Structure 1
């Protein structure tokens, strides 16, 4: 790719209108989801590793939305919930484990999608049920409400926190 990406059309005024005159697919430079895919890979193909930093929540959201909407062609509502929930799981992994990175994996089978976040800590306190006033645990109440199933699998080193959402198959 040339270094001139994003410079074509600089002479136009910079106001954003709702519809572009010419529809073309955005390049990776312009599309944060494509840039995230380029950098980290597609979590629907294999587990991707993301750095354990707060800004990785945004990366995980972009990847999740990309897979659910564009790869799998599933409804916007489902993508919206999946993005919300992946944010919570990533937030937990980043805040509570002190690890350098975590893994994100997305699986699709008939009638279901599954999203997994794997981290090297076996600590579970952040996943215990909490009172409605305990804001730090609010996210897992959300996961409980918006997913059909969720859980934590302890691994020899670490754990996988996952949720599954039902998909109404169109066919």
Structure 2
């Protein structure tokens, strides 16, 4: 784990107006979007992330693709391992950095396990650890926020 951090930046005026979110369920760049504990929520989260990264923020495809993959992994982990009825997705941007947060009501910490070549599952946090610039978990009074940050190449 890269460390714990609670600092994040609010969207800046240069971000422009919020795009229409898939399914009209909200915009994770404006406020937390609640997703039900259903397998299709990972797909919804990918769509929300792609809309924010590409449409709203105009970030490069390489950053968008890796970030969308990691959003799917964190949401999928929360669905599979927390027993939560719902979870929250939030995205922040500041120059050169995107931060994605997935909140759930479980205080159980995610575990970064060793990954072997023939493993068919358990690669989610391994991917987060390898592809993100930093990631961590903030424990809350009722649950936790698992987050990661990606550099965007902006200066």
TM-score with structure 1 length normalisation? 0.74
Q: Residue in 2 aligned with 1:161?
A: 146
Q: Residue in 2 aligned with 1:76?
A: 61
Deviation at 1:104, TM superposition (A): 0.1
Match of 2:112 among 125, 128, 134: 128
After the TM superposition, which parts of structure 1 deviate over 4 Å for at least 4 consecutive aligned residues? none
Q: What is the correspondence of 1:3-82 to structure 2 with a 5 Å cutoff?
A: 34=20, 36=22, 38=24, 40-82=25-67
Number of residue pairs matched?
Answer: 136
5+ residue gaps, structure 2, are 1-18
Superimposed CA distance per residue, residues 61-102 of structure 1 (whole angstroms, 9 cap, x where no aligned partner): 000000000100100111100110001000110001111100
Give the SS at the match of 1:168.
Answer: coil
CA distance in 2, matches of 1:157, 1:134: 33
Q: Is the 8 A contact 2:21 2:51 kept in 1?
A: no
CA distance in 1, matches of 2:41, 2:63: 21
Q: Is the 8 A contact 1:149 1:164 kept in 2?
A: yes
5+ residue gaps, structure 1, are 1-32
CA distance in 1, matches of 2:105, 2:78: 9
Superimposed CA distance per residue, residues 121-150 of structure 1 (whole angstroms, 9 cap, x where no aligned partner): 0112x4233242554321111111110001
Q: Residue in 2 aligned with 1:119?
A: 104
CA distance in 2, matches of 1:81, 1:112: 13
C-alpha RMSD of the superposition = 1.7
Larger Rg: 1 or 2?
A: 1
Deviation at 1:111, TM superposition (A): 1.1
Q: Is the 8 A contact 1:150 1:161 kept in 2?
A: yes
